[in-house]
Structure 1
Amino acid sequence: MNKKHIVFFMPSLSGGGAEQVTFNLIKQMNTEKYNVTALLFRRSLEDKKEKKNLKDLSNQINIIELEGSRLREVFFELILKLRELKPDIIFSSLAYLNMTLVILKKLRVTSSLLAIREANMPEMNISHSSYPRIMKTLYKWSYPCVDLVIVSSSMMKKEFLSFCNIEKENIKIMMNPVDSDYLRSKADDRILFNNKGLRLIASGSLTYQKGFDRLIRWFKELDLSEASLNILGDGPERDNLRNLIKHLKLESQVSLLGYKKNPWKWVAGSDILILSSRWEGMPNVALESLALGVPVVSSSESGGLVELSVKDYKSIFIYKTFEDLKSFLSKYTPMRTGELKQSLLGKEFDQKEIYYLFEKNIDNLFIK
């Protein structure tokens, strides 16, 4: 059997949601059917989670690390590697990498089929970029040249069709894969917070996008005297957030817990996961929280979660204003049990089901 060669091109296989989705897809790849290569940036060696992920995959796939930590540092080496590897398909899941691959294909560096996944709602991604007009032009110019565009919701698909001249049959909706069994096994030993009031948890990179600054300010205005807010993650805004907590005199209620190797046991011990993101696609942290039986309260900029909330997911509450958030939390009574709560996540996020759909979409590229 002549195996097809697929290259997954990403900065790393740890960190944000796009990286985690890519890692979960690679784990499920049928290596009897495909030759699989992960083409990564060198900075991955400094990341403990990355080292573990690479170790887990080392006997399954080919791993190549480029000599640089930024795209501009690896650009020419990337050209050489793609010419050397001559893959049948290249997959990426970050907009700037997606656009780079289109440029390389236009320059005839590669003739590979391009399968890309969009991680964020495109219009929000554009509006929050440093150069919105240029970014929108790049989207409109590059994405119609891609062979397969994977999106995580009908909302995202609709946005693309509204401003990009992409053929409708080239856009496929595919949910983020979630390994619920693994998450629940890691969360069995829950961290239980000892305050009497609401136990709120938030998780993500400490960046402007995640909106933890406005969450902390909202928490102050909520005036929940016995509640706690614990924030998991690390990032460039850490010092600013720490100073904000001190300025608002919230040290006894709000904690920055930093990066945790096993964040799921902290989430599982909370009453609510709260998202304050300024823009998202389909946030993995929310899906993982639901898999652990913890309801989600999210801003209306949370992309695909809005779509889920109006369907069958009553465990997701979307707030449009601070008053919406205040009203919901003031009335909310947590359900606390002595054991891990039942999953609130549907089967449409099962990683095996998602991989079956992914493989089907990939195979269809060869019969067009």
Structure 2
Amino acid sequence: MTSFSSPKAAHILSLVQTLRGGGVERTLLRLAGDWVEAGRQVTLLMGMREGPLVAELPDGVRIVELGTSSFPALRALPAIARDVQPDLIFCPGNHYTSIAGFTRLQLGQAAPPIVAKISNALARPDHRFPLAQAYRWWLRRHPRFIDHFVAMSPAMRDEAICAMRADPARLSIIANPAPRLPSGTSPADIPARPLLVGVGRLELQKRWDRLIDAIARIDDASTRLIIVGQGSARPALEAQIARLGLGQRVTLIGYRSNPAPYLAAASAVVLTSDFEGVPGVLREALALGTPVVATESSVAVREIIADPTRGTIVPIGDQMALVAALNYWLGPDVTRPMPVAPAGEDAAKAYLALFDRLVRERRDPVRTRDRRSKRR
């Protein structure tokens, strides 16, 4: 929506509810910083500037703050788009697609291209009738208001094509930015092995209660568990820890901007979620040579744990399988995996190449159609 002569997505508009923590928001901030460094203008519509990720706000990003953490307040996005005239709108995750749909409805043909990253599983085992049917209906409406989708892995792309009935030409695969590896001295609160580590928001989706319950059942009673993250489930998890008498073995240490030292120190990194997108914590752990144990919470889990030398995949809700997997990786003679090169080294550049192409196609649709016809 900037001047027609602009050859690229010079101005990108995105949105975030709060900065309380979460992989979607953290990844967006990293990408936004890289886009600014690449010479692009980035405007971020934000409900409220609060939470631990405030410290990670990159320089040069223009913030439009609404002053409330209420999700419906983000329906200000169409008005902000009219005001700042972006070349493209980036929807950073599934949580925000309803705002993207509202924006398309409000702006109509005047809307710039809208790109949405698929950040979470589209198959939701936690949904029951009639919510499951309603969710499937909602997913199939997405191609009507999203111009292009970004999946973080090939399996997620295939899932999106099936669940959304989207044109494969409107889906790209771009991994999240590569993790930052630890540097300097390790934090003082990391205990010696045997140590299990979980990283993620303390929310019901993550099902940390399963992991805490498993700690009470594993063979080695000297094993410690650290869970890195903050969220609304903390009181319930603290009550569970007290009830099981695990106060000396399980520690909820809150949010850490760089959890890599904890991942590197762990005997294994554990993820017990009901559903996920492409769990970045698994890739971060494997990049450090730390094995992982994960529920089959996403089609991407089997892509990440590609062979049994990297870790163990357990069925969702199978506590016996979870305990058995933990016992195996806590064993004294287990071999740690070789570090796996992380994906996403050029994520920011890949996004900008996609954004630029979509902007060019929007501004010169005749030439785009001719070029596609020649390819056929």
- 1:244-291 residue CA offsets vs partner (Å, 9 max, x unmatched): 112112222222222334433333322211111111011222222233
In the alignment, the residues of structure 1 paired with residue 354 and residue 169 of structure 2 have an alpha-carbon distance, to the nearest angstrom, of 11
Matched, 1:359 2:352: yes
State whether residues 190 and 265 of structure 2, in contact with CA within 8 Å, keep that contact through their aligned partners in structure 1. yes
For normalisation by structure 2, the TM-score amounts to 0.83
The offset of 1:193, in angstroms, is 4.6
Aligned length: 350
Mapped to 2, the partners of 1:328 and 1:48 lie a distance apart of 33
Q: Does 1:328 align with 2:325?
A: yes
**SS of residue paired to 1:123:** coil
Distance across 2 between alignment mates of 1:213 and 1:191 = 26
Distance 1:123 1:329 in 2: 26
Q: Distance in 1 between matches of 2:343 and 2:172?
A: 15
The aligned counterpart of 2:166 is 166
Deviation digits for residues 186-211 of structure 1 (CA, Å, limit 9, x no counterpart): 6x42547545x621111211111011
1:10 paired with 2:16, answer yes
* Alignment partner, residue 344 of structure 1: 339
Task: State the match for 1:41 in structure 2.
Answer: 47
Give the % identical residues: 23
CA contact (8 A) 2:178 2:343 kept: no
Q: Secondary structure at the match of 1:27?
A: helix
Unpaired stretches in structure 1, ≥5 consecutive residues: none
TM-score of the superposed pair, with normalisation by structure 1? 0.85
Among 274, 279, 285, the alignment partner of 2:275 is 279
Q: Using the alignment, how far apart are the partners of 1:235 and 1:92 within structure 2?
A: 23
Distance, in Å, in 2 between the alignment partners of 1:63 and 1:287 is 30
1:92 and 2:80 aligned:
no
SS in 2 for 1:112: coil
d(CA) in 2 for partners of 1:219 and 1:249? 11
Distance 2:44 2:191 in 1: 43
Deviation (angstroms), 1:103: 2.7
The separation in 2 between residues aligned to 1:28 and 1:99, in whole angstroms, is 26
Structure 2 residue runs without a partner (length 5+): 362-367, 369-376
Q: Distance in 1 between matches of 2:166 and 2:273?
A: 28
Give per-residue Cα distances to partners, 1:35-86, cap 9 Å, x unaligned: 22122112x2x32431x222xx23x2322212321222342x3332111112
Contact 1:99-1:143 within 8 A present in 2 as well: no
Equivalent position SS for 1:36: strand
**What is the identity, as a one-letter code, of the residue corresponding to 1:89?**
L
Using the alignment, how far apart are the partners of 2:157 and 2:20 within structure 1? 26
Is 2:211 the partner of 1:215?
A: yes
Q: 1:62 to 1:335 in 2, by over 3 A?
A: farther
In the TM superposition, residue 322 of structure 1 has moved relative to its aligned partner by 3.3
- Match of 2:343, SS? helix
Aligned 8 A contact 1:125 1:279 in 2: yes
Matches within 5 A, 1:1-368: 2=6, 4-12=10-18, 15-29=21-35, 33-42=39-48, 44=49, 46-50=50-54, 52-54=55-57, 57-58=58-59, 60-75=60-75, 77-108=76-107, 110-124=110-124, 127=127, 131-180=131-180, 183-185=181-183, 188-191=185-188, 193-194=190-191, 198-310=194-306, 314-320=309-315, 321-332=318-329, 333=331, 344-350=339-345, 353-365=346-358, 366-367=360-361, 368=368
Tell me how far apart the structure 1 counterparts of residues 128 and 15 of structure 2 sit (CA, whole Å): 24
Aligned-residue Cα RMSD (Å) equals: 2.8
The alpha-carbon distance between structure 1 residues 255 and 32, as it changes in their structure 2 partners (threshold 3 A), is: closer
SS of aligned partner of 2:14: strand
Matching residue's letter, 1:354: A
**CA offsets 1:290-341 (integer angstroms, 9 cap, x no match):** 3333222111114422212226x842321224343333333334689xxxx9
